[in-house]
Amino acid sequence: MPVHNSDIAAIFSKVADLLEIDGANPFRVRAYRNASRTIDDFSRSLADMIANNEDVTKLPGIGKDLADKIKKIVQTGTFPQLKEIESHIPPELRDMMKIAALGPKRVRILYKKLKVSNIEQLEEAAKGRKVRELTGFGQKTEEKIIEEIKHKKKTLELTKLITAEQIAQPLIQHLEKIEGVDKVIAAGSLRRRKEVVGDLDILATCAAGSEIMHRFVNYEDVKQVISQGKTRSTIILKKGFQVDLRVVQQNSYGAALHYFTGSKAHNIAIRKLGQKKNLKINEYGVFRDDTPIGGKTEEEIFASLDLAYIEPELREDRGEIEAAKINQLPHLVTLEDIRGDLHAHTTATDGRLSLEEIAQAAEQRGYEYIAITDHSKHVTMVHGLNAERLLQEIKEIDRLNQKLEGIVLLKGIELDILEDGTLDLPNDVLKHLDLTVCSIHYKFNLSREKQTERIIRAMDNPYFNILGHPTGRLINERRPYEVDIERIIKAARERGCFLEINAHPDRLDLNDIYCKMAKDMGVKIAISTDAHSLKQLDYLRFGIGQARRGWLGPEDVLNTRNLQDLKKLLQRK
């Protein structure tokens, strides 16, 4: 197995967490954590670089010591230092750090004082009211821990879309190479581009006598074979992810693809509609009086019901069947419709790319424009820009734009919305910008009323353009803050503001439901990457998936506009 950058990053991140719980020197902890991030963001394979004798100390924050360690990991697939730490710090303690109320210090106390070393034990201790007794904890913290664990349990089973994609791609390639195999496709929630995926459903067609099932259950990453049959097998991968493979006949391919793409609610509604027309619909085809009348393609399934073709992202039984009946489905936005990115960070704050590098990357992606939106000063952790440094950046962008051809850098900022709803920089600085992305990074725990007011007050400022990551959630990690999105959307419409779909796969914020709400209420959405690295500029596709799940067409999206029209929309009266 080749060692991927993500494997090395995962090892370093684990070491950092465990060292931190162990109370190690903070500089050492930070060195591992930064290295983990750098490696994860890096677009070339370190294993390849090392095989070519290239120097990996070129990477920022990677010195000789870490470079040697990377080399060792690439060559052996393991890291002895990690084993050593794990011998006295149980690795499951890391899971406890993901509980919002717990940092490394508290995790250490729980371990040392209560011998709590995993989530189950923590829940037991908290419910047994033992946690509140510890110095620095108290009843509130204990209750918060119980609440967090309850929420975690609900989401624990689900894998982020990007991770599911990373698992699916090599497996599908593996299957495609097998002799006699024709089509291989991921169906299920992955095909519907859901933000989190329970398990992977792969569908294949192949010639008789193909070894596909045998090769599937013997895939190198398999931990356990749950079942194996001629047409259906299920495996669990080493990372704990379940994969179902179904092999179907060519003439059932469309019916099977439709069935296993789901969702279940959509399937049930489709089957009911069939019954009304005296048709039987299942994973083998569409039948009238047991005579097959279609099933080779998905189009045949929909056509047999007099429905327009429904894109996978819409198949949630949220009105798509009714819309398909009267040919009123939206024409969904695609990656090709996008003319530019409206949220990107540079080395001036916590990004990895210079202005020139961003411009070049944007041009390579065929964009017309890209907005530079570094953090503002309130985000001290990343040395956010004050007025003076922002004006400096504006000057640099102006200078660079003079030289650039075919791409325009827009002057922007990711501006903090302060607790009282004011913006982090004065208007006489903001007036020099093309746009602002305004976001909340602090004070997540205000009441719903206060949080909503805070955002609407901010929107009152005429320089407010786009509300960044509108609910602040991190998938599987941090719940959205309490906020009345419907009121926010209404306020945005009245003021000529926009909402963002932050395309980062950890965020995908706005979610699909709110996107549809914004569309229905007439507020346009910016689909933006919030990129901090080259690789993240390509995460736009996750935002596109979310937008499509939210029924958005190109006309509903801000950054499908050409530069001239975009600038008009950003100009508030």
List contacts with Zn ion (CB under 5 A).
439
Q: Is the dihedral of CA 21, 25, 26, 28 positive or negative?
A: negative
CB 503 within 8 A of CB 534: no
Could you say which of 12, 85, 161, 188 contacts ligand DGT (CB under 6 A)? 188
We find the least distance from the C-beta atom of residue 129 to Zn ion, in angstroms, to be 38
Could you say which of 57, 118, 166, 263 contacts ligand DGT (CB under 6 A)? 263
In a 3-state reduction of DSSP, which class is residue 474? strand
Q: Which does 263 bind (CB under 5 to 8 A by kind): Zn ion, Ca ion, ligand DGT, none?
A: ligand DGT
Instruction: Closer to ligand DGT by CB, 158 or 353: give it.
Output: 158
**Does position 274 bind ligand DGT by CB under 6 A?**
no
**Does position 260 bind ligand DGT by CB under 6 A?**
yes
Near ligand DGT in 200-259, by CB under 6 A:
201, 259
**Does position 199 bind Ca ion by CB under 5 A?**
yes
Q: Which residues contact 571 (CB under 8 A, 6 or more apart)?
A: none
Distance CA 513, CA 517 (A): 6
Instruction: Closer to Zn ion by CB, 11 or 342: give it.
Output: 342
Candidates 16-24, 191-199, 469-477, 478-486; binding stretch for ligand DGT (CB under 6 A): 191-199
Could you say which of 117, 189, 465, 471 contacts ligand DGT (CB under 6 A)? 189
Could you say which of 264, 272, 399, 432 contacts ligand DGT (CB under 6 A)? 264
- Phi, psi torsion values for 292, nearest 5 degrees: -65, 130
We find the least distance from the C-beta atom of residue 305 to ligand DGT, in angstroms, to be 15
- Phi, psi torsion values for 233, nearest 5 degrees: -140, 155
Instruction: Closer to Ca ion by CB, 243 or 358: give it.
Output: 243
Instruction: Closer to Ca ion by CB, 123 or 244: give it.
Output: 244
CB 571 within 8 A of CB 462: no
Q: Is 152 exposed, middle or buried (CB count within 10 Å of its CB: 0-12, 13-18, 19+)?
A: middle
**Does position 198 bind ligand DGT by CB under 6 A?**
yes
Distance CA 502, CA 508 (A): 5
Instruction: Closer to ligand DGT by CB, 197 or 433: give it.
Output: 197
Instruction: Closer to Ca ion by CB, 192 or 516: give it.
Output: 192
Candidates 131-139, 262-270, 362-370, 499-507; binding stretch for ligand DGT (CB under 6 A): 262-270
Tokens 């006295």 found at:
88
Q: What is the DSSP string of 408-449?
A: EEEEEEEEEB-TTS-BSS-HHHHTT-SEEEEE--S-TTS-HH
One character per residue 242-281, x = contact with Ca ion (rule: CB under 5 A): --x-------------------------------------
Question: What residues are paired with 417 via a beta bridge?
Answer: 423
Helix ranges (H only) for 427-533 are 427-430, 448-460, 485-495, 512-520
CB 525 within 8 A of CB 515: yes
**Does position 195 bind Ca ion by CB under 5 A?**
no
Contact residues toward Ca ion (CB under 5 A) are 188-189, 199, 201, 244
Residues in contact with ligand DGT by the rule CB under 6 A: 188-189, 197-199, 201, 259-260, 262-264, 267-268
